[in-house]
Amino acid sequence: MQNFLKYKTLEKILIFFLTFFYIYSVLFPGMPAGTRVLIGALGILISLFDFIVEIAIKKTIRFSKKSLKIIFLSLLIALFSLLVLVFKHTSDLEFVKYPFFIIQWFGGGYLLTIMHRKVYGSIKFENVGFFIVASVLLQVIIAFLMFVSSPIRDLFTSINLNEPSTGEAFREFRLVGFASYYFGAGIICGYALILIPLLIPYTGKKSQIRFLAFSFILILALGMMMSRTTMLGGAIAVLIMILPFKLGLNSRKKVRLFLMYTIIIPLFVLPVFFLLDDKLIETIQVASEFGFEMFYNYFNEGSLSTGSTDEMKEMYKLPNNSVTYLFGDGIFYANQLNDSSGYYMGTDIGFLRLVYYFGIIGSLLFFLLQFVVLCKSISYVINKRVKILFIVSMFLFLLVLNFKGLTDLIFLNVLFGGFWLNKRNKITFKGKELI
């Protein structure tokens, strides 16, 4: 029995590290690609092996109807993008390549789904959610340690070849994590924060509620110091907790206990700051002034604005013709025009980048795909209120984020593995059943 428990513990550790290195794609020295790509490739190979075994041994072809619908939608986006490129005489293949990214992300989700089913017997929303939250918690802790300690920062930056070229300049005032940077870091931190209140109904012990409360505080505070976008996820999470929804059995009592811990835990942590070195306190203060700039500005100047929000307003440059609105210009990056300034039309706004690339039609297809993946990924969740809140809150999160920068949540949503849990269609070779 002891060996069995030890074996399961090692498998859980493996799931945790696979989840972490899938979410945060690290390019280690000597490796041909980032960890997300490698995990996805391994998942694709395993799925192909399973497919061949089905044919060779069971004489049956089985396929997931849900995943095929999603791949079909991604192919439709790619085809429409290709038509736009031909019509506009451009060569930017950004969304023509999209189905390959979808398949890669599906591969990673498939591998982790297999691991969850082997360890837990089935894929469960709460298990996947806890692993995601734990991965993000580890990331923000690493980011904090990298910010306050040069040796730790040098260690992590030396083993990740994907370090951004502007990393050193930004590290002076904001947290830059281990393969987690800027706006992208805020997306993932916000995603985890939204997950936390949805996991509260599934807690069975006070220690689990304490873990979620501790995670919420740290991911919100340190995540803000990485990217202020994190605050959006925190705001939606708070909204979920105060809305008059009963998430599940005894959930109100658990939510009250969770909120109590979010007050108590900082009271125990804050005295530690008085024991810190003055230089370390000053370093932390620099990051906090960046992360909570809008609140500093509000108390000092009466305005909630930040440097990035002011800059973002200047990026709202709307198309000047109806053809671009409908079909786009087929250009995603400015370098397609031999312009080194950055994004096409000088805008980093997510909705505008999509519209400029393949118009409103392509944008609607993109968000339709996002919504379908969101729904299918947790199709197995029994608690309907949790399911509805997950779909509504994550889709709202996606839409609002795209008013700032281009956001795609599919790579995170596939981790919940709902695509492979439905009754699969099948075609038999030696039986009468043909579909």
Q: List for the chain the helix, strand, coil content (%; round to 5).
A: 70, 0, 25
Question: Coil, helix or strand for 422?
Answer: coil
Predicted TM-score (pTM) of this structure:
0.90
CB within 8 A of 127, min separation 6: which ones? 116, 120
Predicted local distance difference test score (pLDDT) of residue 79: 96
Find the length of the chain. Answer: 435
- Of 93-107, 134-148, 306-320, the least confident: 306-320
Q: Which residue, among 166, 150, 138, 178, has the nearest Cα to 26 in the 3D structure? A: 178
Q: Which residue, among 93, 128, 166, 149, has the nearest Cα to 19 in the 3D structure? A: 128
Q: Is the pLDDT of residue 369 over 90?
A: yes
Average pLDDT over residues 330-335: 81
Average pLDDT over the chain, rounded to an integer: 84
Q: Left if phi > 0, otherwise alpha if psi is -120 to 50, otherwise beta: which for 303?
A: beta
Task: Render pLDDT for 370-380 as a digit per residue (tens, 0 to 9).
Answer: 999 999 999 88
Average pLDDT over residues 217-244: 91
Instruction: Name the DSSP letter for residue 244.
Output: S
Q: Is the pLDDT of residue 5 over 50?
A: no
Predicted local distance difference test score (pLDDT) of residue 316: 82
- Asked if 131 contacts 153 with a C-beta cutoff of 8 angstroms, the reply is no
Residue bearing the bigger pLDDT, 391 or 336: 391
Give the amino acid at 334.
A
Burial of 71 (0-12, 13-18, 19+ CB in 10 A): middle
Task: Render pLDDT for 13-62 as a digit per residue (tens, 0 to 9).
Answer: 999 999 999 999 999 988 899 999 999 999 999 988 887 877 777 666 66
Residues 110, 375: Cα–Cα separation, whole Å? 17
Q: Is the pLDDT of residue 259 over 50?
A: yes
Predicted local distance difference test score (pLDDT) of residue 122: 86
Predicted local distance difference test score (pLDDT) of residue 285: 79
Residues 189, 229: Cα–Cα separation, whole Å? 9
Q: Kindly indicate the confidence band of residue 427, based on its pLDDT and cuts at 50, 70 and 90.
A: very low
Tokens 């500005």 correspond to 297
Q: Is the pLDDT of residue 428 over 60?
A: no
